Structure 1
Amino acid sequence: MKEVRRGEPSLCLLLLAWGLALQTTWWLEWRFHAGSADDGGGYTVEVSINDYLDIYCPHYGAPLPPAERMEHYVLYMVNGEGHASCDHRQRGFKRWECNRPAAPGGPLKFSEKFQLFTPFSLGFEFRPGHEYYYISATPPNAVDRPCLRLKVYVRPTSKCWGGHVGSRPSPLVSLTHRTHSVVCRVRRWSQPSQGSQLQQWLGLAPPEPLFSPLQMGTF
């Protein structure tokens, strides 16, 4: 059964952050959705070339819960069949492992860059107009957890070249309200506005807050 609640405030918050090299970053946050294998479940997001997908693993602070209650996941990139069946044996590649839920420095974070080319032999290359799939699996000797699924669609638009995104991303909502889960963010790069931001970086204008909330969604 899907863990979906309607009519409650969403955990999704669209944020505007400052970036480096006179660029700004659009942050979009959502959670992997624990959908059943026969309902076409999971969650779909759209990205552009040069966007980043940031993965935040479940994390627990003091007082720590019992070890069997802490969530552990292995995250795989799979094909369409593997996503539909939640089976990483369908041409699955292990991408990350969430195995330190009580790490003292905070949650483990992994990043996927949607780039056309990679200089690394084990890196992944992505193509506009294609879909890519991620699922979770429970590590051996751990308490079994629902399969978490995410579908990522790379936009077929010329505006994605060179790291430029021409429009703001639409806010997405959280489909699962678990206390701890795998959380993702997309970092979308756009050109800075003229004048005001440049003045701030040069010290000619007062700085704005690092993060400015733009919109909250409900589901």
Structure 2
Amino acid sequence: MNWLPYSVARNALVLLVLCLHSFVLATMPTGAKFYTIHWNSSNPIFRIDNTDNVIDVNRNNLKFEYDQVNLICPVYTPGTKDEDMEKYIIYNVSKDEYETCRITNPNPRIIAVCDKPYKLMYFTITFRPFTPQPGGLEFLPGHDYYFISTSTSDDLHRRIGGRCTTHNMKIVFKVWAPPEDATTRATTSVSRPMWSSVTPSRTTQSTTTTTSTEAPTTRTTKKSKPYNKHPNEVVKSEELTLGGRAQKAEVGLFLIVSILSLLFATR
């Protein structure tokens, strides 16, 4: 067997050690949090007498660790009456639109369309400061982002009042930033609300829009006119895989096998 020169073998071993170190880091637990929000009027998060709808995200996360949220549409069993079903369009709006429950932007940014009450539909958002696709959402540290729904029982597309006014259906996400990086607001601490299930989460392969037929039922409105989505109207959240821990692990293993083959398979 012909061995590689000492200098080449030494450099290969150094790379092997670095790959092993990266692999160990990739398999360590992440500090990112995962929120689940059921977007229906019976959710206590929307009660006007509390502040559960003001949520801090990315607080004290490590670099390239980003919190995620699943916005879950109302879903019902077949046979439910139209008047007992809720349907929504969720918009990303300005602070003024949030406070007045009035969408003045002629082309508002649509986050989710909940118009299929018999299917489980959820929309995943990753609170990262960059986006892998044109027109995607970017959540910059130190900024606030406002989501509302102005739909009513008989008008899915209504843009004034609606359940934003009658049921306080709106949420603020405050993207945390270190004090030296804060630009538009002082960082505040908001306790995790009881309604939310938060679990450690990886930051890879964010689901954009997923439908299923199995889900618990919730109370929610009348069938309204069908919604024809323009391809660019719904904001999708697709994860980059460069910062993913599972992807790092796979890359690390691949590099290790390649280096070992290079060291011992040459003749």
Provide TM-score, normalisation by structure 2: 0.45
Q: 1:28 to 1:120 in 2, by over 3 A?
A: closer
Q: 1:56 to 1:76 in 2, by over 3 A?
A: same
Instruction: Report which of the two has the higher share of helix.
Output: 2
Closer/same/farther in 2, CA of residues 82 and 21 from structure 1, 3 Å limit: farther
Paired residue secondary structure (1:53)? strand
Matched, 1:180 2:180: no
Structure richer in strand, relative to its length: 1
The answer for unaligned runs of 5 or more in structure 1 is 1-19, 159-168, 182-190, 192-219
Question: What whole-Å deviation, never above 9, does each CA across 1:155-180 have from its counterpart, x for those lacking one?
Answer: 1139xxxxxxxxxx9431349xx943
Give the ranges of 4+ consecutive aligned residues of structure 1 lying more than 2 Å apart after TM superposition.
Answer: 20-36, 39-42, 88-92, 139-145, 178-181
Deviation at 1:23, TM superposition (A): 3.5
Is 1:129 aligned to residue 129 of structure 2?
no
After TM superposition, give the deviation of residue 94 of structure 1 in Å: 1.3
Distance 1:65 1:21 in 2: 45
Contact map agreement 1:59 1:102 (CA 8 A) in 2: yes
Q: 5 Å matches for 1:1-219? A: 22-23=28-29, 26-30=33-37, 33-34=45-46, 43-48=53-58, 50-62=66-78, 64-90=79-105, 92-103=108-119, 107-138=120-151, 141-142=154-155, 146-147=163-164, 148-157=169-178, 170-174=191-195, 179-180=218-219
- Please tell me whether the aligned partners of residues 44 and 152 of structure 1 are also in contact (alpha carbons under 8 angstroms): yes
Q: Residues 22 and 40 from structure 1, CA distance in 2 versus in 1: closer, same or farther, beyond 3 angstroms? A: closer
CA shift in 2, pair 1:98/1:55, >3 Å: same
Task: Tell me the percent identity.
Answer: 24
The 2-side partners of 1:65 and 1:100 are apart by 13
Contact residue 90 and residue 111 of structure 2 kept, 8 A:
yes
Q: Secondary structure at the match of 1:108?
A: strand
AA aligned to 1:153 is: K
TM-score, structure 1 as length reference: 0.54
Q: Is the contact between residue 81 and residue 90 of structure 1 (CA under 8 Å) also seen in structure 2? A: no
1:42–1:149 Cα contact (<8 Å) kept: no
Count of residue correspondences: 147
SS of 1:82's partner is helix
Deviation of the 1:68 alpha carbon = 2.4
Contact 1:34 1:146 in 2 (8 A): no
Consecutive unaligned residues in structure 2, runs of 5 or more? 1-25, 40-44, 59-64, 180-189, 197-216, 221-244, 246-267
Once superposed, what is the RMSD of the aligned Cα atoms?
3.8
Cα gap change, 1:132 to 1:126, in 2 (>3 Å): same
SS in 2 for 1:55: strand
Write out per-residue CA displacement over residues 77-97 of structure 1, whole angstroms, 9 at most, x where no aligned residue: 001001101122247311110
Identify if the C-alpha distance between structure 1 residues 157 and 61 changes in structure 2 by more than 3 Å, giving closer, same or farther.
farther
